[in-house]
Amino acid sequence: MHRKEVIQMRKNRKMEHRMMTVQAIQNDTDDNQTRTVEGYAAVFNEETLIWKSEYTGYEYREVILPGAFDNTDFSQCVLNYNHGGMLFARTASGTLQLTVDEKGLKLTGNVADTSIGNDVYSLIKRGDLNKMSFAFIVNGEEEEIDRENKVYTRKIKSVKAVYDVSIVDNPAYKGTSVSARANGDYERYEDIEKRKRLTLLAMT
DSSP-assigned states of every residue in the chain: ----EEEEE----SEEEEEEE-EEEEE-SSSS-EEEEEEEEEEBT--EEEEE-TTT--EEEEEEPTTTTTT-B-TT-EEEETTTTEEEEEGGGTSEEEEE-SSEEEEEEE--SSHHHHHHHHHHHHTS--EEEEEEEEEEEEEEEETTTTEEEEEEEEEEEEEEEEEESS-S---SSS----TTHHHHHHHHHHHHHHHHHHH-
The number of domains in the chain is 1
pLDDT for the residue 177: 23
Tens digit of each residue's pLDDT, the chain (204 residues)? 555 655 555 555 677 776 667 666 655 444 456 788 888 888 899 888 888 888 888 999 989 999 999 999 999 999 988 877 789 999 999 999 999 999 998 889 999 999 999 998 898 888 888 888 788 899 999 999 998 999 999 999 999 999 988 888 766 444 322 222 333 455 555 666 666 556 555 555
pTM: 0.72
Residue 161: which domain range?
5-203
